[in-house]
Structure 1
Amino acid sequence: MKAKKNYFEKLFSDKRFTIVFSILIAIGLWFVVRSIINPNSIATIRNVKVNYDYNSAAYLSQGLDIVEKDTEDKSVTISGDDNQISGVEAEDILLYPNYSQVNGPGTYTLKLVATQADSLLNSRSYDFNEISPSAYVQVTFDKVSTKKFTITVNASGIDPEDGYYVDTPVASPAEVTVRGPESVVNSIDKVMANVTLNEKRTESALTTAQLEFLDKEGNPVDSTYLTTDVSQVEVTIPVLKIKEVPLTVEYTHVPVGYDVEVLNPTLSQETIRVAGSAEQVDALESINAGYIDLAKLQLGTSVDLSIELPDGLRNIDSVQKVTVSFNTMGFTTRTISVSEIRVVNAASGTTVTPSVGRINNVTLIGREDELEELSESSVVAQIDASPTNVSVTKGQQNMEVEIIVPGTETVFATGTYTVLCDISTGA
C-alpha cells in the first residue's frame, strides 16, 4: 500500500501528466454538460401582442396617426439553450412593425420585428425563428388633426318639484381638445355629455358624464384612434327656486325733496318671474329694472330700460326690456333764464367765480298752473365746487350746474347745464 501511494504521488507530481489529466477531465465534463443541456431547444411563445407605439416617431413626425390596425395576437418561435429559453413569456418579447416604408397617408403591409423586451436588462440569449400566423400586419395611416369643441350637455329625466325650475346644464370643463386622424376629427360635428337622472329634485345635481362624438347626422363617430385632454366631465344641473317679484325703477338727477310719483310712472311689465337658489330668491323683494335720468326726460315720451338681473338669477319669463311711461296730463314746459348762481363746497383758499351772471334757456317741466306762477328769481343755479370737482388750481374750468326749484311739488329742470368759472387759490 505504501508503494502504491508513493506511485500516485510521483505520478501527479509529473507536470506533463497533470496537464494531460486536466484536459481529459475537461473533455469529460463538456460531454456531461452537452448531454444535460440541449443547445438546440425550440419554444413557441403564444399571445404576443404587437406594440404599435414602439418607434411611433417614424410616422408621428410626418403628422400621421394610425387609423386602423390588425389586433390579432401573434405566436413567436424562439430557439437556444434550454436554460435560456425556459420561462420566456409573452411579456418578454417586443413585437413591433417596421415603419421605414411609411411615407404618407394610406394602408401599408408592414413586416414585424421581434426582439427582447427591455433588452438592456435582459441577460438571456436566444434566437427568433418564426412569427405566426403571419410576420406582417396591415396598418392604415392618416394625417393628424387637433380641434377644440364646445361640450354640449344633454340632460334628461330631471323632474323639478312644484315651484322649481331646471336651468341649462353646465359641463366643467366646457371645452375639449380632440386629436386624431384628420378625416375622423373633421367628421365630428358635436361633442355630447349625456346625463339621465330619474328623480324629483329641489336642489341642483352634480354628476359625471363620458364624452360622445357625433357627426352631422347625429351618428356616433368611432373614437378608437382619438385622444382628448379630458375623457369625462363634471355636469352641474341647476335646479332653481322660482319667485314672482315686482319690477321697480330708480331715478337720477332728482332734485332734493322731489317726489317722482307725481309723474305717475307706469311700467309695461309690473312683475317678473325669476329663479335662483332658495336662499337668494327668498330674500328677494323686488327687481330694479334700471335708472331714469330726469335731466333727459321729455314730456310725452316713454323710457325703455333693459332688465339686468343680479348674478345667480335667471329670467324665467325672458322679459328683457320694460317701458316706463308717464301720465303727465296737465304738465307743460317753460324756458327761463336763471340769474341766481351760487357756489357751494369750495375748499378754504379756493375761489370759484362764474364768468357769466345768467344761464339762459333753462327748461322746466311741471304742472301748468305751477309753472305760470313760478318767478324766475326763485330758481337757483348751484355749482358744487368740492375739491373733487375742481381740476385746476388757477385758470378757467367748465363746472356742472344743478338747477334747483325750491317750494314746488311738480316742477323740475330737465337738460344739463354748465358755466365757465374762474378759479384761483391762495391769498
Structure 2
Amino acid sequence: MENTNKRGAYIALSILIAIVLWVYVGYINSNEDTYTIRNVPVVFTGEEELAERGLMITEGANQTINLSVRTTWSTLLKLGSSTMSVSVDVSGIENPGTYSTGYRIVLPVGVSNNAVSITGSTAQNIAYTVARRTQRSIEVKGIFDGDVADGFQQGEFAFSPSTILVDGEEDAVNQVDYALVTISRDEPLSETFTGEMPFQLIGFDGQVLDVKSLNLETDVSTVQVTLPVVKLKEVELKVDLLPGGGATADNAEVDIEPSTITISGSEEDLATKDEIVLGQIDLSQVFSQNTYTFDIPLEAGLNNVSGITQAKVTVKITGLATRTLEVDNIQFINYPEGCTPEKVTLSCQVQIRGEQEAVDAVIPSQLRIVADLSNAGRGNQTVDAKVYLDGSSNVGVVGEYKIVVNVQRN
C-alpha cells in the first residue's frame, strides 16, 4: 500500500513539472524583450563594380555595429555576430570620396523579418571612404644578416618572381619602394641557400610599411630565394711554350703579370683547378724578348673574383746565339695550273738561333724558302713563306717571312 502511494506521488510530481515547463516554454516563445547584438559585421556588396571602375573601399572597409533588437528568447538564440550582418550596397558609386550610406539587416536562414524588430543601433548609416585603386610592379631585393665561412664568398641574390605586383589605394601603393627578403643565420654559411621566403614592403624612407593598416595586397605572399655561396681559390696563371727557332722552355724566362688571380666556384669545380693556361707562345716567333697580352679564360661555373681580365706575358730568350744569313734559295709549291711563278724577291735575310757552335756551323745552302701559292692570284703579290733549315736539329729559324712573287699565265 505504501509503495502504491509513493508511485502515485511521483506521477503527480512529474505531471506538475511537465506543466510548469510547458507553461515556461510557451511564455518565452510568445513574450518578446529587447536585447543587444554586439559586433555585427558590415558587409559591402557591389565591390566588383567598384573594382571595374578602378575604385576600392579604404577606411571603414572592416567595421562592425551593435544592434538593439526586440524578439523572443528562442529567436535570440539564433542571432549573433557570426550568423547575421548588415549589408551596404556600393555598386552605384562612381567617384572617390567619403560616403555615409544606409544598410539592410541580413538575418540568419530560418529567421523571418517578422520575428525580429530593430529598435536601435550604434550607427544609423555606415560611413566609409572610397579611393582610387591602382597596381604597381616593384623590385624584390635581399639582405643577408649573417656571415659566410672563411674561404667562401657570398654571391648575388636571385628571386622568382623577381618583381611583385602591389595593389591598393593609389596613395598607399605609391609609398612602396621595393620588397625586401631577409635571410638570417647564426652559423656562417658555407653553401648556397635556397628556400621559399616571406618579404616586407619597404617605403621610400627605408622603413617597413604596415601592409594591413595601408590595406595593401600583393599577388604573391612568398618568393623563391637563392643566395649563392661559393668557395674562393687562388690559382696560378701559365702559358704553354712551343719549342721553335732553336729554343725550348729551358731557354725562356717567363714573367706573367699578374702571376695569380682569385676565382670562385663550387668546391667540386675548384677541387682540381690549380692553374689557368692563358694560351700558347711559339718560341720561334720570339727574337730576344717579346711581350704578349692574353685574355684570362674561365670555364662556365667559375668567376673571376680578382676582376682582372687580361694578363701580360713577357718571354725572354737566354743562353742562345743568333746569326743572320742571306738566303736566295726560294721555291714555290702549289701554284695555279697554267701559270708560272716568277721571283720578285731574290733573297731574304734569315735569322737562325741555337748553341753558338751549332749556329756557326750552318751555311746558307742549308736554308730554303718555300712559298705555298695555293691561294695566290695572278700578278705581283706578297705571300707568306716558310724557311726550312736542313741538316741541323739543334738550330732553328726565328721569325716570320714574306716574299713578293709575280704569277704569270703560261
TM-score interval, smaller chain: 0.5 to 0.7
Q: 88-97 vs 236-245, which deviates more?
A: 88-97
Q: Deviations over 1:70-109 (max 9, x none)?
A: 533223456678776651343333434332463334x412
Distance 1:223 1:354 in 2: 88
Distance in structure 2 (CA, Å) of the matches to 1:103 and 1:382: 86
Q: Please, what TM-score do these two structures have when normalized by structure 1?
A: 0.62
The change in CA–CA distance for 1:260 and 1:95 in structure 2 (over 3 A counts) is farther
* Counterparts of 1:268 and 1:199, CA distance in 2: 38
Aligned to 1:199: 187
> Do 2:203 and 2:209's aligned partners in 1 also have CA atoms closer than 8 Å?
yes
Cα distance in structure 2, aligned partners of 1:97 and 1:60? 16
Q: Which residue of 2 aligns with 1:7?
A: none
Verify the 8 A CA contact 1:299 1:332 in the aligned structure 2.
Answer: no
1:274, distance to aligned residue in structure 2 (A): 1.6
Residue number among 225, 228, 244 corresponding to 2:234 in the alignment: 244
Secondary structure class of the residue paired with 2:112 = coil
Letter in 2 for 1:51: V
Tell me the SS of whatever aligns to 1:158. Answer: coil
8 Å contact 1:170–1:237 — kept in the other structure?
A: yes
Cα offsets for 1:217-251 (capped at 9, x unmatched): 31223423332232223433333222211123469
Tell me, yes or no, if the aligned pair for 1:51 and 1:94 is still in contact at 8 Å. Answer: yes
Aligned-partner Cα distance in 2 for 1:96–1:359: 106
User: How much has 1:199 moved relative to structure 2?
Assistant: 0.9
Give 2:154's match in structure 1, choosing from 167, 182, 191. 167
Identity %: 19
Label 1:153 to 1:355 Cα distance change in 2 as closer, same or farther (>3 A).
farther
Deviations 1:292-326 (A, max 9, x none): 89999999874444434323223332223322344
SS at match of 2:186: strand
**Does residue 1:154 correspond to 2:153, yes or no?**
no
Question: In structure 2, what is the Cα distance between the partners aligned to 1:193 and 1:202?
Answer: 20
Which residue identity lines up with residue 93 of structure 2 in the other structure? V
Root mean square deviation of aligned Cα: 5.1
The answer (yes or no) to whether the contact 1:66–1:141 under 8 Å persists in 2 is yes
Query: Do the aligned partners of 1:167 and 1:239 also contact (CA within 8 Å) in 2?
Result: yes
Aligned to 2:98: 108
**1:129-278 equivalence runs, <5 A:** 129=118, 131-133=121-123, 135-149=125-139, 151-160=140-149, 162=150, 164-173=151-160, 175-180=162-167, 181-224=169-212, 225-249=215-239, 265-278=254-267
Name the CA shift for 1:382/1:138 in 2 (closer, same or farther; >3 Å).
same
8 Å contact 1:305–1:321 — kept in the other structure?
A: yes
**SS of residue in 2 equivalent to 1:199:** coil
Contact 2:55 2:133 in 1 (8 A): yes
Code of the residue aligned with 2:82 in structure 1: it is E
2: CA distance between counterparts of 1:219 and 1:155?
17
**Length-normalised TM-score, structure 2:** 0.65
* Structure 1 position 402, deviation (Å): 8.2
User: 1:8-45, CA deviations, whole angstroms, 9 ceiling, x for partnerless residues?
Assistant: xxxxxxxxxxxxxxxxxxxxxxxxx9988549776644
Structural mapping, 1:361-400, within 5 Å: 377-381=368-372
Partners of 1:184 and 1:295 lie apart in 2 by: 73
> Does the CA contact (< 8 Å) of 1:405 and 1:412 recur in 2?
no
Distance 1:295 1:327, change over 3 A: closer
1:145–1:378 distance in 2 versus 1, CA, 3 Å = same
Equivalent residue letter for 1:64: L
Find out whether 1:97 has 2:88 as its counterpart: yes
Q: Residue 249 of structure 1 contacts residue 289 of structure 1 at CA under 8 Å; is this kept in 2? A: yes
Deviation at 1:176, TM superposition (A): 2.4
Residue number in structure 2 paired with 1:62 = 53
Could you tell me whether the CA contact under 8 Å between 1:255 and 1:412 is conserved in 2? no
Secondary structure of the residue that 2:42 maps to in structure 1?
Answer: coil
Alignment check: 8 A CA contact 1:191 1:211 kept: yes
Assess if the C-alpha contact under 8 Å between 1:245 and 1:286 holds in 2.
yes
* Contact kept in structure 2, 1:63 and 1:144, CA below 8 Å: yes
